């Protein structure tokens, strides 16, 4: 039994369907998010379990994992990010093309977790903007899937011009990220 | 990210990592390659250094179990139980036989789980993704068994100083019996897929070899050392937790290459299954924890009624229990090798110094020597067959 | 070979200047000086079969003035199944000790980690630099005078954590 997504509201007739571009693009983006699993530690193993047959992330459209940032939409940061790793994370984020979303999985990525130490970055939102936070240590696969579903909500309802607004540019500037033109 | 940065004559410098699809974690290697042959490698680690040893100086003894979880997170019960046994040795606590057997069952399940990950990932790196998908289903069954004991799937924080927090219940026994019936069948299927597969063998034999003498000089331990030819296993050399009661053999390889490491881990999974069956058959009755009220939480009914239990409960929960002063080195056979704890206590509520002897950290130093003169794809295979877990590498 | 025979052998080879004590868990603790280390490990490895170096670590005892740092070596005789612990005390002003990489190749990273955490200088080490922390870190974090947390973090309020 395959469930197909519902089409948005629109004007229908013989051989044509009229709706707004926002909704169609949102629908397409939301159901084909290709993630980049930036798995560093224990949450990475829970992610591998989520990709497995029991919890199956692929049925949400995330069939193709890619480890190259140029071809992905969603940066899933799973695991502790140390201060040594933070520049690498920023570089990977910079290399992704718009539109891109960031999912911070696990307590360590959200806020440093149990490691309140000198070498651990206390949350990846110190270096990159984050869209959805999934707490847990490690979060259950169902929680990771819920995080992905919230990203899908964001992708579906996002306005097409959001990435061009001044507010977005100001937000990126606060992280010292150069916005690609 | 693999990128060719400089070309100096015929020698190119390639960067392997720290974010890389094939590595089980974050570590970087800068390789000098001549065409496809690797001339030298320079590893950089520390990308997930979380300062466990300094953190342990701040935490009371029963809270350190949560840190030990995150060392080798594919088989966290072994780390937890090793830590509890270290504290029991320093405090002079004797646990009942039933606790020993329960611990053996849990540790062998963890060993199976870790070896499944390693072998499936060797399959994935040679292109065989099917084995990975099937074996992760078996890991889900092991996760359900952990959930019955302690409530968590991956970072288990299992057991307490002196034993376990609850006995094995009927659901656990039912699930374990079902696992022992179904797992060997599925595992044989995975075995038939790879172990005597002509393509797999041609690919993997001869990749990343190391001799036994060299391995001992590098202080290897665990399946990597046994694949090289030396049968050093802490469970046999310094038996702990009643391992001497069980009858199992130690598989040993010949050349120390990737194929030997793969086959040694396959055989160890079978030996672990046999140990679990023996432990279940011979399980003695008795208490599931030692009678040490200073370290083990008393039952809640007694806390409400008796004054001593209330005081013990308060002291344990607030982390005010003290261990006698002294120093001890204790080691268990982790899934990757000899996992050791060097604990110095000054009689206070937290350790004065705790050092983890992490097998991954020690044997990863041999990686540049193992991949010299091989091709890049063999270097990837060697890395995944050594089962380098980043949490244990950096601590 | 039990601990008494080993103690006699060690005393013989260090002119009775080593201080041996068996810890209550049956491992022999041997306290020696830094310059006796290489020769003692040499005879232990080649004549008594201690071919396996289990671990190298260090500890900081700031109250013991003149012997603040202690480097601890665990060796293991795989044939006869015996372990021994060698301890070398170093003063903070003279924190040098010869490297064990001449006998065991595996000592390389173990000594780098000890240098990274405590600043112990292993004389003769082929590549003594930081391994786990960032290269530009200018202090040795596991020494007792340094805090666990990063002092510059702004998002955690220390009063709630009891500090």
pLDDT at B217: 92
Q: What is the pLDDT of residues B334-384, one digit of tens each?
A: 999 999 999 999 988 899 999 999 999 999 999 999 998 899 889 888 988
Structure tokens at A132: 């959805």
Question: What is the C-alpha to C-alpha distance for residues B108 and B95, in angstroms, rounded to an integer?
Answer: 19
Find the CATH number of the domain harbouring C34: 3.30.460.80
Average pLDDT over residues C65-81: 91
**Looking at chain B, which subunits does it touch, using at least 3 CB pairs closer than 8 Å as the criterion?**
A, C
pLDDT at B1 exceeding the cut of 50: no
For residue B21, the chain A residue with the least C-alpha distance is: A67
Assigned domain for A169 exists: yes
Q: For residues B43 and B22, which has the higher predicted lDDT (pLDDT)? A: B43
Question: Is the CB of A49 inside 8 Å of chain B's CB atoms?
Answer: yes
Residue in A84, A116, A118 closest to C156 by CB: A116
List all residues 6 or more positions away from A30 whose beta carbon is below 8 Å from its beta carbon.
A61, A152, A153, A155, A156
Question: What is the C-alpha to C-alpha distance for residues B131 and B191, in angstroms, rounded to an integer?
Answer: 9
Residues 365 to 384 of B: which have CB under 8 A from any C CB? 365
Assigned domain for A9 exists: no
Q: For residues B1 and C136, which has the higher predicted lDDT (pLDDT)? A: C136
pLDDT at C163: 54
Find the CATH number of the domain harbouring A125: 3.40.50.12280
Q: What is the pLDDT of residues C81-95, one digit of tens each?
A: 888 999 999 998 889
Q: Report the domain count for chain C.
A: 1
Mean pLDDT value across chain A: 89
Assigned domain for C112 exists: yes
Percent of chain B whose pLDDT exceeds 70: 97
Mutate to test the interface with B, among A65, A69, A82 (most CBs of B within 10 A): A82
Do C31 and C11 touch, CB atoms closer than 8 A?
Answer: no
Assigned domain for C161 exists: no
Interface contact A117-C150, CB threshold 8 A: yes
CA nearest neighbour of B124 among B31, B43, B24: B24
DSSP code string of A6-56: PPPS-EEETTEEE--HHHHHHHHHHT-PPEEEEE-SHHHHHHHHHHSTTT-
Assigned domain for C37 exists: yes
Question: Is the CB of B127 inside 8 Å of chain A's CB atoms?
Answer: no
Assigned domain for A10 exists: no
CA of A82 vs chain B CAs: smallest distance (Å): 5
Assigned domain for C85 exists: yes
Question: Is the CB of C136 inside 8 Å of chain A's CB atoms?
Answer: no
CA of A84 vs chain C CAs: smallest distance (Å): 6
Boundaries of domain holding C142: 3-148
Average pLDDT over residues C115-144: 91
Assigned domain for C24 exists: yes
For residue C127, the chain B residue with the least C-alpha distance is: B42
Average pLDDT over residues B11-31: 81
Residue B314: is it exposed, middle or buried by C-beta count within 10 angstroms (0-12/13-18/19+)?
A: exposed
Helix (H) or strand (E) holding B120, with range, is helix B97-125
What region, left, alpha or beta, does residue C65 occupy, with left being phi > 0 and alpha being psi -120 to 50 degrees?
beta
For residue B391, the chain C residue with the least C-alpha distance is: C132
Q: What is the pLDDT of residues B50-97, one digit of tens each?
A: 999 999 998 899 889 999 989 999 999 999 999 999 999 998 899 999
Assigned domain for C156 exists: no
Interface contact B26-A40, CB threshold 8 A: yes
pLDDT at A150 exceeding the cut of 70: yes
Residues 33 to 72 of B: which have CB under 8 A from any A CB? 46-51, 54-55, 66-67, 69-70
pLDDT at A122 exceeding the cut of 80: yes
Percent of chain C whose pLDDT exceeds 90: 45
Q: Report the domain count for chain A.
A: 1
DSSP code string of B131-198: HHHHHHHHHHHHHHHHHHHHS-SSS----BTTB-SS---HHHHHHHHHHHHHHHHHHHHHHHHHTT-H
For residue C83, the chain B residue with the least C-alpha distance is: B329
Q: What is the pLDDT of residues A25-82, one digit of tens each?
A: 999 999 999 999 998 888 988 998 998 888 988 888 888 888 888 999 899 999 999 9
| ipTM of model | 0.92
Do C108 and C64 touch, CB atoms closer than 8 A?
Answer: no
List all residues 6 or more positions away from C143 whose beta carbon is below 8 Å from its beta carbon.
C60, C118, C119
pLDDT at B4 exceeding the cut of 70: no
Boundaries of domain holding A165: 32-174
Q: How confident is the model at residue B7 (pLDDT cuts 50, 70, 90)?
A: low
Domain at B52-394: CATH architecture? Orthogonal Bundle (1.10)
Helix (H) or strand (E) holding B64, with range, is helix B64-69
Do A33 and A155 touch, CB atoms closer than 8 A?
Answer: yes
Q: What is the pLDDT of residues B218-258, one digit of tens each?
A: 999 999 999 999 999 999 988 999 999 999 999 999 988 99
Assigned domain for C116 exists: yes
Mean pLDDT value across chain B: 90
Phi/psi of residue B211, nearest 5 degrees: -85, 160
pLDDT at A181: 61
Question: Is the CB of C65 inside 8 Å of chain A's CB atoms?
Answer: no
Q: What is the pLDDT of residues B118-145, one digit of tens each?
A: 999 999 988 888 889 899 999 999 999 9
The full set of domain ranges for chain B reads: 2-44, 52-394
pLDDT at B25 exceeding the cut of 80: no
Q: What is the pLDDT of residues A70-92, one digit of tens each?
A: 999 899 999 999 999 999 999 99
Interface contact A122-C133, CB threshold 8 A: no
Residue in A88, A114, A119 closest to B18 by CB: A88
With contacts defined as CB-CB under 8 Å, which chain B residues touch C52?
216, 219, 232
Assigned domain for C162 exists: no
């Amino acid at each position: 039994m395959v469930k197909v997504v519902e089409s948005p509201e629109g004007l229908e007739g013989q051989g044509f369907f009229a709706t707004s571009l926002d909704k169609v693009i949102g629908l397409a983006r939301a159901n084909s998010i290709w993630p980049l699993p930036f798995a560093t530690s224990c949450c990475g193993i829970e992610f591998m379990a989520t990709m497995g047959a029991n919890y199956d992330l692929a049925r949400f459209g995330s069939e193709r994992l890619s480890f190259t940032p140029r071809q992905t939409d969603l940066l899933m940061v799973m695991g502790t990010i140390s201060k040594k790793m933070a520049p690498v994370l920023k570089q990977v984020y910079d290399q992704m093309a718009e539109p891109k979303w960031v999912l911070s999985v696990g307590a360590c990525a959200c806020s440093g977790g149990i490691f309140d130490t000198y070498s651990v970055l206390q949350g990846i939102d110190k270096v990159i903007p984050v869209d959805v936070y999934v707490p847990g240590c490690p979060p259950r696969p169902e929680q990771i899937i819920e995080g992905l579903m919230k990203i899908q909500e964001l992708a579906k309802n996002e306005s097409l011009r959001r990435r061009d607004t001044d507010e977005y540019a100001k937000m990126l500037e606060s992280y010292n990220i150069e916005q690609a033109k | 990210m693999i990128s060719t940065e400089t070309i100096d004559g015929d020698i190119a410098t390639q960067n392997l990592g720290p974010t890389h699809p094939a590595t089980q974690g974050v570590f970087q290697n800068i390789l000098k390659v001549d065409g496809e042959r690797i001339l030298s490698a320079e590893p950089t680690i520390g990308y997930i250094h979380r300062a466990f040893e300094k953190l342990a100086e701040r935490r009371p003894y029963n809270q350190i179990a949560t840190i030990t979880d995150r060392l080798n997170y594919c088989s966290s019960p072994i780390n937890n139980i090793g830590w509890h046994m270290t504290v029991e040795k320093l405090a002079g606590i004797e646990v009942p036989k039933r606790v020993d057997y329960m611990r053996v069952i849990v540790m062998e399940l963890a060993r199976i789980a870790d070896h499944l990950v390693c072998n499936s990932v060797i399959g994935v790196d040679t292109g065989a993704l099917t084995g990975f998908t099937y074996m992760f289903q078996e890991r889900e069954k092991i996760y359900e068994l952990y959930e019955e004991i302690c409530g968590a799937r991956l970072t288990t924080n299992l057991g307490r100083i002196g034993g376990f927090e609850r006995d094995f219940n009927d659901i656990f026994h039912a699930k374990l019996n079902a696992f022992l019936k179904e797992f060997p069948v599925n595992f044989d299927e995975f075995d038939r897929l790879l172990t005597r597969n002509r393509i797999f063998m041609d690919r993997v034999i001869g990749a990343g070899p190391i001799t036994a003498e060299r391995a001992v000089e590098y202080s290897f331990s665990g399946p990597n050392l046994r694949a090289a030819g030396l049968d050093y296993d802490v469970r046999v050399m310094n038996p702990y937790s009643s391992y001497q009661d069980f009858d199992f053999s130690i598989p040993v390889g010949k050349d120390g290459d990737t194929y030997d490491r793969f086959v040694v881990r396959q055989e160890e999974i079978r030996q672990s299954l046999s140990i679990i069956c023996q432990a279940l058959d011979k399980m003695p009755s008795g208490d599931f924890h030692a009678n040490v009220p200073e370290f083990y939480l008393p039952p809640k009914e007694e806390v409400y009624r008796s004054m001593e239990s209330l005081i013990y409960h308060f002291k344990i929960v607030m982390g005010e229990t003290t261990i006698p002063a002294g120093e001890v080195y204790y080691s268990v056979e982790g899934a990757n090798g000899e996992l050791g704890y060097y604990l110095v206590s000054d009689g206070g509520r937290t350790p004065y110094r705790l050092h983890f002897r992490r097998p991954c950290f020690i044997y990863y130093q041999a990686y540049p020597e193992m991949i010299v003169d091989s091709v890049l794809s063999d270097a990837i295979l060697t890395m995944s067959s050594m089962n380098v877990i980043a949490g244990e590498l950096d601590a | 070979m039990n601990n008494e025979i080993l103690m006699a052998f060690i005393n013989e080879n260090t002119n009775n200047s080593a201080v041996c004590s068996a810890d209550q868990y049956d491992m022999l603790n041997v306290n020696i000086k830094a310059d006796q280390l290489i020769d003692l490990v040499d005879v232990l490895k080649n004549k008594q079969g201690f071919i396996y170096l289990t671990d190298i670590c260090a500890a900081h005892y700031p109250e013991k003035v003149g012997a603040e740092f202690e480097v601890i070596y665990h060796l293991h005789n795989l044939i006869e199944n015996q372990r021994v612990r060698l301890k070398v005390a170093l003063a903070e002003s003279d924190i040098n000790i010869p490297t064990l990489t001449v006998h065991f190749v595996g000592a390389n990273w173990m000594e780098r980690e000890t240098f990274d955490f405590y600043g112990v200088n292993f004389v003769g080490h082929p590549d003594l630099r930081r391994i786990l922390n960032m290269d530009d870190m200018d202090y040795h974090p596991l020494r007792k005078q340094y805090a666990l947390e990063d002092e510059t973090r702004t998002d955690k309020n220390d009063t709630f954590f009891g500090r």
